[in-house]
Amino acid sequence: MAFYEEISTYYDKIFPVSKDTVDFLKDHIGNPPKSVLDVACGTGGYAIELDKFGYSLTAVDLDREMIRKLSEKTKATNSKVVFLQADMLNLYEEFSGAKFGTIYCIGNSLVHLQSLAQIQSFFVGIRQLLDNEGEFIFQIINYDRILTKGITSLPTIVNESVPLSFERYYNYIEETQKIIFKTILSLDNKKLENQVELTPLTYDDAILMLTNAGFNEIYAYGDFKGSIFDKESSYSLVITASK
């Protein structure tokens, strides 16, 4: 699809690697070498960055164009990141017998699953892939804030160096309890629009589902700086959960 081809090409310009995020991940992964799985990796910016510090990275994404772009980047940087196209719901089968010290899924990717039941199944599979002292980290938009305040858009991402803009709109459908997430990528005198359904995962549901999946020591943050999570004011929900 033209939209995803363009997104993969400009992904790093829309979503550049954040030092705060890298530092947060490193603090929780611990000292290298550690085996780490990046789920819904996009073009693999974080996997490639963590690889530089001596971690053993495996990166997966459902989208072929994202993985193709990651392949190009690993060759250009001599990165040792192992990558493959895979469905996040089939990871336990895909990596049967493998164990990871840390698994992370960031960038609001988790809520692209089609239901809370699928998210619960994903949590169960992730826990099975962690080693005995393993930790799972995920980050999504704070949907408590989106739903209670009726928020319909997020700030437009602008990168003047390209130039491009990336607009993000939310439309909550009460009957289906889903969010229609519409994006508009504007660049080169053209606009590419796309929309997908998201499953708005709230803090309470996330904690309950992680507990039901068997996770312990669950902590929530409002961002990758480690801020205290607040349902009403935090823009993001970052959760860490140990096996």
Both structure tokens of 150: 């009726």
**One-letter amino acid for residue 205 of the chain:** D
User: How do strand 153-159 and strand 82-85 relate by DSSP bridges?
Assistant: unpaired
Which value, to the nearest 10 degrees, does the dihedral of the CA atoms of residues 216, 221, 224, 226 take?
-100
Locate tokens 């895909």: which residue? 94
Both structure tokens of 198: 């998201």
Cis check: omega of the bond before 163, within 30 degrees of 0: yes
pLDDT value for 100: 98
Listed by start position, the domains of the chain span 2-141+201-242, 145-198
pLDDT per residue as tens, the chain (243 positions): 456 677 888 999 999 999 999 999 999 999 999 999 999 999 999 999 999 999 999 999 999 999 999 999 999 999 999 999 999 999 999 998 899 999 999 999 999 999 999 999 999 999 999 999 999 999 999 999 999 999 999 999 999 999 999 999 999 999 999 999 999 999 988 899 999 999 999 999 999 999 999 999 999 999 999 999 999 999 999 999 998
pLDDT value for 188: 85
Both structure tokens of 61: 């994404």
d(CA 102, CA 241): 10
Locate tokens 């980050």: which residue? 139
Nearest C-alpha neighbor of 105 from the set 59, 70, 72:
59
pLDDT value for 151: 97
d(CA 210, CA 222): 18
d(CA 13, CA 17): 9
d(CA 48, CA 79): 6
pLDDT value for 97: 87
pLDDT value for 3: 65
Nearest C-alpha neighbor of 68 from the set 21, 15, 11, 109:
11
d(CA 219, CA 213): 15
pLDDT value for 189: 87
Model confidence, pTM: 0.96
For 2-141+201-242, which CATH class?
A: alpha beta
Nearest C-alpha neighbor of 42 from the set 74, 79, 72, 7:
7
Beta-ladder partners of 186: 165, 191
